[in-house]
Amino acid sequence: MNLFEGDIKQTMTSRNGIRDVSKLWTTRVIPYTFKFGDFSTSEQNTIRQAMYEYHARTCIRFVQRTTERNYIYIHKGEGCSSSVGQRGGRQDLSLGNRCVQKGVAIHELMHAVGFWHEQSRFDRDDWVIIKWQNIREGEEDNFYRYSEIDVSGLGVSYDYYSVMHYSATTYSSDGSPTMVARVSGAPSQFGQLSGFSNKDVVKLNRLYSCSK
Residue positions annotated with a catalytic role:
108
CA 14 to chain centre: 12
Q: How far apart are the first and last CA of the chain?
A: 36
What radius of gyration, in Å, describes the C-alpha atoms of the chain? 17
Q: Is 55 annotated as belonging to a binding site?
A: no
Kindly tell me the burial class for residue 118, based on how many C-beta atoms sit within 10 Å of its own C-beta (0-12, 13-18, 19 or more): buried
Phi, psi of 194 (to 5 degrees): -80, -20
Q: SS3 of 54, please?
A: helix
117 has binding-site annotation: yes
Distance from the Cα of residue 50 to its chain's centroid: 13
Task: Find how far residue 102's CA is from the centre of its chain.
Answer: 13
Binding-site residue set for Zn(2+): 107, 111, 117
Binding-site residue set: 107, 111, 117
